[in-house]
Amino acid sequence: MSLDKSLKVRVLVSVGQHPKSGRERRADQDSRALELALGMPGFSVGLLHAGSESPALREYLGMGVKAIDVLKQPSSADVVPALVQALRNDSPDLVLCGTRAETGEASGMTPYRVANALGWPLVPAVVSISRGSDGTYEVLQALPRGQRRLLKVRTPFVATVDPAAAEARQSAFGPAQRGQLQAVAVASVADPAANDLEFSPARKRPKRIAAARKATTAAERFKAATVKSASKGGQVLVKETAAEKASAILNLLVAEGVIAVDSPS
Amino acid sequence: MSSIIRKDPRKNWILRNRLHPLHQQMLVAEGAGNNAVVRGPSGLIRKNPHNIGFIGPNGIKRIDRLGGSGTVVAAGQRGEAVDTRLPLVQISNPESWIVVVPDLAGGRLTSHDRDVLGQARQLAAANPACAVVALVFGDLSENLADDSNGLALAGVDRLLHFSGDDWNGYCPEQELAAMLAVHRQLLPQHWLFPDTHLSGNDRALRLATRLEERPAMHAWQIRDGRVTCRAGSERNDVTRSLPKVVALLAECAMPVDDSRHEVLPMALPELPGVLARIQDAGAVAVDPNQIAMAEAGFILSAGNGIHDWEQFHEAARVLGATEGASRVAVDDGFMPRFRQVGATGTWVTARVYVAVGISGAVQHLQGIGACEKVIAINTDAGCDMVKRADLSVIGDSQEILAALIEQVKALRQPAASEGGRHHVA
How confident is the model over B358-389, as pLDDT tens digits? 998 999 999 998 888 899 999 998 899 998 89
Q: Determine the pLDDT at residue B163.
A: 86
Q: Determine the pLDDT at residue A126.
A: 94
Give the range of the structural domain holding residue A44, as residue numbers without chain letter: 7-196
Q: Determine the pLDDT at residue B54.
A: 77
DSSP B323-355: EEE-HHHHHTTSS-GGGBBSTTSB----SEEEE
Mean pLDDT of A70-78: 91
Percent of chain A clearing pLDDT 70 (strictly above): 91
Q: Determine the pLDDT at residue B77.
A: 42
Residue B217: φ, ψ to 5°: -100, 155
Q: Determine the pLDDT at residue B151.
A: 86
Mean pLDDT of B138-144: 74
A232 touching B (Cβ < 8 Å): no
B355 touching A (Cβ < 8 Å): no
Domains of chain B (ranges, CATH numbers): 9-55 (no CATH), 89-265 (3.40.50.620), 285-415 (3.40.50.1220)
CA B384 to chain centre: 22
Domain contains A75: yes
Domain contains A259: no
Q: Do A205 and B251 touch (CB under 8 A)?
A: yes
Contacts of A102 in chain B (CB under 8 A): 232-233
* Gap between the Cα atoms of B243 and B231, Å rounded: 16
How many domains are there within chain A? 1
Mutual angle of helices A110-118 and A79-90, in 10-degree steps: 50
Q: Do A249 and B391 touch (CB under 8 A)?
A: yes
A210 or B129: whose pLDDT is higher? B129
Closest CA to A181 of A51, A23, A18, A7: A51
Could you say which residues from 143 to 182 on chain A have a Cβ atom under 8 Å away from some Cβ of chain B? 143-154, 157
pLDDT band at B45 (very low <50, low <70, confident <90, very high): confident
Domain contains A31: yes
Percent of chain B clearing pLDDT 70 (strictly above): 88
CA-nearest residue of chain B to A156?
B277
Q: Do A247 and B236 touch (CB under 8 A)?
A: no
- ipTM value: 0.88
Domain contains A223: no
Q: Do B215 and A216 touch (CB under 8 A)?
A: no
Q: Determine the pLDDT at residue B425.
A: 41
Could you say which residues from 227 to 256 on chain B have a Cβ atom under 8 Å away from some Cβ of chain A? 229-241, 251, 254
Per residue in B149-183, pLDDT (tens digit) is 588 888 999 999 998 888 888 899 999 999 999 99
CB A19 within 8 A of CB B233: yes
A117 or B138: whose pLDDT is higher? A117
Per DSSP, which regions of chain A are E strands?
7-12, 15-17, 24-26, 43-51, 67-72, 77-78, 94-98, 122-131, 137-142, 148-153, 157-161, 180-184, 189-190, 198-201, 235-237
What is the identity of the amino acid at B95? E
Mutual angle of helices B9-16 and B23-30, in 10-degree steps: 110
Could you say which residues from 76 to 105 on chain B have a Cβ atom under 8 Å away from some Cβ of chain A? 105
Q: Do A141 and B232 touch (CB under 8 A)?
A: no
A247 touching B (Cβ < 8 Å): yes
By three-state DSSP, how is residue A230 classified? coil
Interface A–B counts its CB contacts (< 8 A) at 256
CA-nearest residue of chain A to B105?
A144
B39 or A190: whose pLDDT is higher? A190
Mean residue pLDDT across chain B: 85
A262 touching B (Cβ < 8 Å): yes
CA distance B23 to chain A (A): 38
Q: Determine the pLDDT at residue B17.
A: 86
Measured CA angle at B407 (ends B402, B408), to 5 deg? 100
Contacts of B390 in chain A (CB under 8 A): 234-235, 252
Q: Determine the pLDDT at residue B421.
A: 47
Domain contains A208: no
Domain contains A236: no
By three-state DSSP, how is residue B374 classified? strand
CB A13 within 8 A of CB A27: yes
What is the identity of the amino acid at B372? E
Could you say which residues from 6 to 45 on chain A have a Cβ atom under 8 Å away from some Cβ of chain B? 16-19, 22
Could you say which residues from 116 to 135 on chain B have a Cβ atom under 8 Å away from some Cβ of chain A? none
CATH number of domain containing A176: 3.40.50.620
Domain contains A229: no
Closest CA to B102 of B29, B184, B191, B173: B191
Percent of chain A clearing pLDDT 90 (strictly above): 58
* Gap between the Cα atoms of A203 and B237, Å rounded: 7
Sign, Cα dihedral of A23, A24, A29, A34: negative
